[in-house]
Amino acid sequence: MAATVGLVGALLMHICTNYEAIMNGTQPDGEHIICDLASPKMLYKKSLTIAALDEFPLSYVEDGVPKGIVFDFVNILKDKYGFNYTVKMPEENIIGDADIGIISMVHKKEVDMAAAFLPVFHEMDNLVNWSTSLDESNWVVMMKRPSESATGSGLLAPFDSTVWILILISLIAIGPTIYIIIIIRAKLCKGDEVLTAVVPLDNCIWFVYGALMKQGSTLAPMADSTRLLFATWWIFITILTSFYTANLTAFLTLSRFTLPIDGPKDLTKNKAGWIAHKGSALEYVVQNDKDYEYLNKTVKDGRGRFLEMPDLDMFTLVKNKKLSLLRERRSVEYWMFRDYMIKTEDNVPENERCTFVVTPKSFMVHGIAFAYPKDSDLGRFFDPLFQSLVEAGIVKHLLKQGLPPTEICPLNLRSTERQLRNGDLFTTYMVVVVGFISAIVAFVGEVFYTTMKRCSAGNKTEISDIDWTGNLGYKKSQLFPPSYSSLMQQQHGFGKHQNINGRDYLVINSKPGDPQLIPVRAPSSFLFQYSA
């Protein structure tokens, strides 16, 4: 019995700091005394060597003092367990593997733990032990904010390219379709003067164009089939123009901004290329994960590069070289906010403060945690506290520390109203230019055709006696009726001439018996003969 009591006392001595109270008895209320674990005392005044990465603002050393969000967690552990620590940086500021980087330091037991937001890759489970997951890391694509939306020109924005192509095809096809049906109807209805009348092809084409421009038409189809085609086209154009007008108004009013790059897969189409930090989690994934093989191909052909340089230099490359930066969202938001505040202090106009923009959707989401050596007992002490910090929301709070509660430089800047820009009218300019060029080409073609036709006629007719329309063999006297004044002068006894206010008029009696004045001399007679 005495041996058993001695064994229990020895165990309590090593496990509980209040083992003497436990051995002496129970509490006054009769309840058993709870064991106060000795684990906090095991780290008291112990010196730990902690590895960290230089990742401003997450972790960095300033004037020999470690600072950053990472060391906020380390200091919480220090206050809880009473240990001291020194910070050791890896020779290469990268995550690394078994041979280099911060993972190598933990694996080789050069440090007691790695205090950094390391990506939890289970391929490294044989090298280190991971702590409780602290949060998730989301990667985004950052780029210089484009001056124009990727939706397209203002006049083309209401419909996508497929709709525009189908509209163009319908414009080209409907005119010949109407003409072919009219030809078939004329052949089937031989002997009927009305139904055998054929509308020329050019008139059918101009009807299609006139309906698109909301113009009327002089064509009067006689058959039901042609009338149905005309009505169908009018209904189609009415619906089409209604949708176009509504969508164009919404586009110019709501000012929805879109980016040319929506995610990392779009980088394969970007000739400018992209950059990322050397030794980052992205480099490990690109080299080892087949799901990101498309990024690995861009690295091989030189469009994607992993660089070893500070974040500020990276941002300068993005701004000046129009490169895309692949970075963890938390770091990107911090630097964007810092850039915005600097420009605000410099009184930069509000619409010019957001130089950069990030894609709305994230990619490569993975957990982040600290790392311990394989046979370390620190995880047994620290992980319960980490779990409590995560569940209490303290981790989220610290990670958002120093950032505004609102979105930083959102995709759609609502600070200014949408104004019609010159780029929105680019399509209008192109339509005018193409229209003028087409008119010039048509005019040159008509002149060339008329000249060639005149030359081919040779001496068959006199040039002075050729109709201006190109019809040969008709004299001008045969094309135009005689002037009204000459007709009036030839008819003797028809009314009488009278000079009124210096002008000559022919006074005749109308059917009701009232006198009517008809101008005789030019230019009044010229106007009258064409308006009568």
**What distance in Å separates the CA atoms of residue 38 and residue 41, rounded to the nearest whole number?**
5
Calculate what percentage of the chain has a pLDDT beyond 90.
Answer: 27
pLDDT at 235: 87
Domains of the chain: 1-37 (no CATH), 161-254 (1.10.287), 481-532 (no CATH)
**What distance in Å separates the CA atoms of residue 133 and residue 234, rounded to the nearest whole number?**
64
In the block, residue with structure tokens 């994960």: 289
Closest by Cα among 183, 168, 103 to 370: 103
Q: Crossing angle of helices 69-81/378-391, nearest 10°? A: 120
- 21-25, 41-45, 68-72, 451-455: least confidently modelled range: 21-25
pLDDT at 12: 45
Which residues sit in the known binding site for L-glutamate?
A: 280, 339
pLDDT at 9: 52
pLDDT at 80: 87
Instruction: At 87, give phi and psi (nearest 5°).
Output: -100, 135
pLDDT at 324: 92
Which one has a higher pLDDT value, 2 or 238? 238
Cβ(151)–Cβ(258) below 8 Å:
yes
Give the pLDDT band (50/70/90) at residue 479.
very low
pLDDT in tens, 84-141: 999 999 999 999 999 999 999 999 999 999 999 999 998 999 999 999 999 999 999 9
**What distance in Å separates the CA atoms of residue 248 and residue 236, rounded to the nearest whole number?**
18
pLDDT in tens, 79-100: 888 899 999 999 999 999 999 9
pLDDT at 11: 46
The two most distant CA atoms of the chain are separated, in Å, by 162
Mean pLDDT (the chain, rounded): 80
pLDDT at 95: 92
Q: How far is CA 250 from CA 245, 255, 416, in A?
A: 9, 8, 16
pLDDT average, residue stretch 221-237: 82
Cβ(70)–Cβ(58) below 8 Å:
yes
pLDDT at 414: 61
pLDDT average, residue stretch 298-316: 90
In terms of phi and psi (left: phi > 0; alpha: psi -120 to 50; beta: otherwise), the region of 309 is: beta
Which residues sit in the known binding site?
A: 280, 339
Closest by Cα among 454, 147, 164, 143 to 315: 143
Calculate what percentage of the chain has a pLDDT beyond 70.
Answer: 76
pLDDT average, residue stretch 390-394: 91
Cβ(278)–Cβ(94) below 8 Å:
yes
